[in-house]
Structure 1
Amino acid sequence: MSLIKGIEIRPLSSIKGGMAEFYTPQSSHETMLVQIPPQTIEDLYVHRFQTDQLLVVRGSFVLVVLHNRRYQYIPMSEQQPMVVSIPPYVPHGAINLSSEPCMLVNALLHHGSPEARDYRPMKPPFPYDLVAAKRMIQQLEYPMIA
């Protein structure tokens, strides 16, 4: 599934082998394990020379993407394994309103040498809609209730 500015959301495929389930790894130049602490509302980041490929392995969070002065909220959870690819020059941040940390894998694709400013947060131009973000996570985790 494709979203704004080249962002892609792909369900993660798996193969069952006995009791274990094997998921397809993402090709990358570098793989990072990232923890988003509970009650985190992160500023935006813009990477100029990398594509982030995000996969939640524990917990949940809402990925925030800024495009045309509007936020798009993408809920991500371990219950629905998917990879979200964020290409260069797309401002994005994270919201974790739960009481638990969220662990995710970021399989980076490099398109040049990283710059220091790629990892400096930038203040969101206007506040996030935290009510909408919380509702999206609740719908993802408890689809019958929300």
Structure 2
Amino acid sequence: MGSIAEIEIHLLESIQGGMAQFYTPQSSNETMLVQIPPGAIDKLFVHRFQTDQLLVVRESFVLVVLHNRQYRYVYLSETQPQAVKIPPGVPHGAINLNSRPCLVVNAVLRHGAPHPKDYRPIEPPFPYDLERVRTLLKGNPKIPQTMV
């Protein structure tokens, strides 16, 4: 049996050009701008033939990833330029408990035609830990972004 893919988190490298800061571009087949509304608690999604590469450009949110029947909560913010790569087959969702919308660039890598079930929400198998999400959104550095 093959191993299950996991997400990857990459800090973006940058160079200074005059007054502007230029960050590493993410290659993609398609680029989407995604707005996560305030108060959003997404159900889970799974893409069968697509890799998501997420980069927050305004505000912050918490990415929820289901792996081995545990949630991993990953805080993503405009103040920490990093790309999160979500390979095919990984259930994931977004939580934005902030009062402002979050804008995310998704540099999508296509591995085939979209599957009809790719964009249908899946009910989470057990409740999210919203207290942990609130702590992450407050920027508490004492809480690691690991499985809970």
Give the TM-score normalised by the residue count of structure 2. Answer: 0.90
How many residues of Structure 1 are paired with residues of Structure 2 in the alignment?
A: 139
Percent identity (aligned): 66
* Aligned mates of 1:54, 1:95 — CA distance in 2: 14
SS at match of 2:118: helix
1:136 to partner: Cα distance? 1.2
1:5 to partner: Cα distance? 2.8
Q: Is the 8 A contact 2:58 2:104 kept in 1?
A: yes
* Aligned mates of 1:137, 1:47 — CA distance in 2: 26
* Aligned mates of 1:49, 1:90 — CA distance in 2: 11
* Aligned mates of 1:46, 1:13 — CA distance in 2: 29
> Is 1:70 aligned to 2:70, yes or no?
yes
- What is the aligned partner in structure 1 of residue 135 from structure 2? 135
* Aligned mates of 1:67, 1:21 — CA distance in 2: 35
- What is the aligned partner in structure 2 of residue 34 from structure 1? 34
1:78 to partner: Cα distance? 0.2
* Aligned mates of 1:68, 1:10 — CA distance in 2: 22
Q: Is the 8 A contact 2:5 2:89 kept in 1?
A: no
SS at match of 1:107: strand
1:63 to partner: Cα distance? 0.2
> Is 1:98 aligned to 2:98, yes or no?
yes
1:115 to partner: Cα distance? 1.4
CA RMSD of aligned residues (A): 1.3
> Is 1:24 aligned to 2:24, yes or no?
yes
- The runs of at least 4 consecutive aligned structure 1 residues that moved more than 4 Å come to none
* Aligned mates of 1:128, 1:97 — CA distance in 2: 13
* Structure 2: runs of 5 or more not aligned: 143-148
Amino acid of the residue matched to residue 126 of structure 1?
A: F
* Aligned mates of 1:65, 1:29 — CA distance in 2: 23
* Aligned mates of 1:93, 1:6 — CA distance in 2: 14
Higher relative helix content: 1
SS at match of 2:134: helix
* Aligned mates of 2:109, 2:6 — CA distance in 1: 14
